[in-house]
Amino acid sequence: MKLRTGLLLGVAFAAGLTIGPVSNQLAQRYGIQILPAAFAQDGSNGETYRMLKLFGDVFDRVRAEYVEPVNDRDLIENAINGMLTGLDPHSNYMNAKSYGDMQVQTRGEFGGLGIEVTQENGFIKVISPIDDTPASRAGVKPGDLILALDGKTVQGLSLNDAVDKMRGPANSRIKLTIKRGGNDQPLELSMNREVIKVQVVKSHMEGTDIAYIRMTGFTEQTDNGLRKAMQSLRQQAGDHLRGVILDLRNNPGGLLDQAVAVSDDFIDQGEIVSTRARHPEDSQRWNAKDGDITGGLPLVVLTNGGSASASEIVAGALQDHRRAILVGTRTFGKGSVQTVIPLEANGAMRLTTARYYTPSGRSIQGLGITPDIEVHSSRTETPHFGPEREADLNRVLLNTGGTPQQSAPARNDLPPIARDIPKLPPEGFPTYDQTKSDTDFQLQQALAVVRAMPVSKRASR
């Protein structure tokens, strides 16, 4: 969640591995520091040395006797990843390519075409071209099947591999072969890649008086996108804007500094979040600066089990400050901070380095944030075929260090309508369609709540 660009903690996989030829080979090829003799003779570290020697022995045996030849780099990268993933669900090793992909995600921009795609029957299907991008200007349409890229079939490629081939440096050219419904012959569309900015903030007016803002992630573009959306919606509403709904449902999180900035946009003063690391000097606290981009308008935040990490920081801060009313279901419960540590030319490691705490001192690790008004999206629970929340993961961190009170205190500032908000949709409620807000039961209840909240004198000026 938190990105640092310096080599902060050094390479964890840097102690000596074995005595003998393989040690020297590893040292020369991968820059691994061999264990000094004084360390090996230190009785207090003897067990560590023996285990590192065991690793070297296993490495030698696998290289010599595995059924097929194996690449040394693959073996070592797998070992590093095993060391990190054995710690907790969120620590891991990223090779150079994975690290590059992660940087693209957090920047929220990349060289590409501007198409949202999925995979269908071995081909790449266009969900939608993004407005004002090379794909939209070239005439790519929703439902198009991409058959080939620069004349080479996409069959046999994974979705990620196909996306990688469509991305590339700005101004580089690419040709798409497309099958479109109703056309017997494939179409060939050529276009130049451009810098595409991922739209992580989407907004519209609900009626004439409520601003609706949805965030799908916390990238470097999020806070700026929020401010632009708020400015645009204010202009659309004129003097009629009376409330804001911030939708964080299914938002998996992202950058810590963006979570802090978004929270600060709605809070005038006080703590936003604090982190506590293994070493007290590495612990941090962030406080709000004066200024609320809404002018104090009523605010409702929508959450569900897919709201995680940075989303929970925002929801927790707004709830603890009584700045917003949370509507929906309990959040995911990821209360830890990961630091991304570059490893020179060998990718990076994502390492859990701290737990975070809401302004009241709560740790939500493994617990999540309980909304002020519980509202479910449907009458029947959606079946899950994997972990539903942080507490369901293996090797999950313990919830420690926070206040004994693990949930927000009961609120006495909810509007009277809160008592009448149903938890479940009525029988026969329309099936959810993301293009029609009146089929979104949680949103409809959030609208009722925000319209029932009093508008402060400050906001009505």
Which residues are known catalytic residues?
309, 320, 334
CA angle 138, 140, 142 (to 5 degrees): 160
Please list, residue by residue across 51-80, b when 16 or more beta carbons sit within 10 angstroms of its beta carbon and e when fewer do.
ebbebbeebbeeeeeeeeeeeeeeebbeeb
Triad 129, 131, 134: Cα angle to 5°: 70
Distance in angstroms (rounded) separating the CA atoms of residues 225 and 202: 8
Two tokens at 185? 């012959």
| Contact present, 90 and 102 (Cβ < 8 Å) | no
Retrieve residue 140's tokens.
């790519």
* Sign of the alpha-carbon torsion through 92, 94, 164, 334: positive
The answer to whether 231 and 265 are in contact (CB under 8 A) is no
Please give the helix or strand (H or E) that residue 116 lies within, else none. Answer: strand 115-120
Amino acid at 54: L
Pull the structure tokens for residue 224: 């700026």
- Residue 33 burial (CB count, 10 A): 14
CA distances from 218 to 139, 213, 221, 254, 274 (A): 30, 14, 8, 4, 18
368, 328 Cβ separation under 8 angstroms: no
CA distance 433 to 441: 11
Task: Please report which residue ranges of 66-92 form alpha helices under DSSP H.
Answer: 72-85
Instruction: Dig out the tokens for 183 from the structure.
Output: 């056309």
In 3D space, the residue among 100, 205, 111, 190 whose CA is nearest the CA of residue 150 turns out to be 190
Torsion (CA) 188, 189, 193, 194 in degrees, nearest 10: -160
Tokens of 52: 């590192």
What phi-psi label fits residue 296: left (phi over 0), alpha (psi between -120 and 50 degrees) or beta? left
Task: Measure CA 73 to chain center.
Answer: 29
Assign 264 to helix, strand or coil. Answer: helix
Q: Across the strands, what pairs with 10?
A: none
Q: CA 368 to CA 395: how far, in whole Å?
A: 17
